[in-house]
C-alpha cells in the first residue's frame, strides 16, 4: 500500500458507496419472490464483487487461482491486467500444488511457498484498484435507473 491507511480507507469507503447501487440492483433481482433474470453484466459484477471482497479481507490471490481460471473472461472484460499477470506468474505454483494428493499436503504447500509467491501475488491489482475497474465496468454497462 503506497498511501497512508486513512487515505486508503477513505478511498475504500468511496468506492464501496459508489458500487452499492449496483449491488442493491443485482441483489433485488436475485432475491425477489419471483427472481428476475440478471444480465451478463450484472452476473459478472456480482461474481467479481466477491473477488473484490476477498482482496480486502485476505489478498489470497494464490488461493483464488482456480476461480480466476474459471472466470478469466470476466477479468479480461473489466481490464484486470494485474490479476491476469499474477495468474500467469502463479501457475507454476498452482500446477505443482495440484500434483499433491491430500488436502493437508496442499495446505502445507500453500504455507511453505507463501514468501516465494509474494512477488507474483503482488502483481495483482489491490482492492481499491480492482474496485475502480469494477465500478467503471458497472457504470459503462448498467444504468442505475433501469
Task: Give me the pLDDT at residue 114, please.
Answer: 95
Residue 67 covered by a domain: yes
Residue 125 covered by a domain: yes
Task: Give me the residue label for grid cell 500434483.
Answer: 99
Residue 35 covered by a domain: yes
Domain span including residue 24: 5-141
Answer whether 130's CB lies under 8 Å from 80's CB: yes
- How many helices and strands in the chain, by DSSP H and E? 8, 0
Task: Give me the pLDDT at residue 54, please.
Answer: 84
Q: Distance between CA atoms of 65 and 115, rounded to whole angstroms?
A: 17
13-47 confidence digits (pLDDT tens): 999 999 999 988 888 887 777 778 888 999 999 88
Q: Distance between CA atoms of 51 and 29, rounded to whole angstroms?
A: 20
pLDDT band at 124 (very low <50, low <70, confident <90, very high): very high
Residue 59 covered by a domain: yes
* Domain count within the chain: 1
Amino acid at each position: 500500500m503506497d498511501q497512508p491507511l486513512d487515505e486508503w480507507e477513505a478511498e475504500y469507503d468511496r468506492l464501496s458507496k459508489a458500487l452499492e447501487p449496483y449491488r442493491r440492483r443485482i441483489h433485488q433481482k436475485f432475491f425477489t419472490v419471483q427472481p428476475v433474470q440478471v444480465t451478463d453484466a450484472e452476473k459478472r459484477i456480482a461474481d467479481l464483487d466477491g473477488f473484490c471482497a476477498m482482496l480486502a479481507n485476505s489478498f489470497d490471490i494464490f488461493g483464488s487461482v482456480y476461480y480466476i481460471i474459471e472466470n478469466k473472461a470476466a477479468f479480461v472484460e473489466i481490464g484486470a491486467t494485474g490479476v491476469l499477470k499474477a495468474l500467469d506468474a502463479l501457475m507454476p505454483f498452482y500446477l505443482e500444488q495440484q500434483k499433491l494428493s491430500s488436502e493437508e499436503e496442499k495446505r502445507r504447500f500453500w504455507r511453505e511457498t507463501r514468501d516465494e509467491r509474494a512477488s507474483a501475488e503482488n502483481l495483482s491489482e489491490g482492492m481499491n484498484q480492482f474496485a475502480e475497474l469494477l465500478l467503471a465496468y458497472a457504470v459503462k454497462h448498467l444504468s442505475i435507473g433501469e
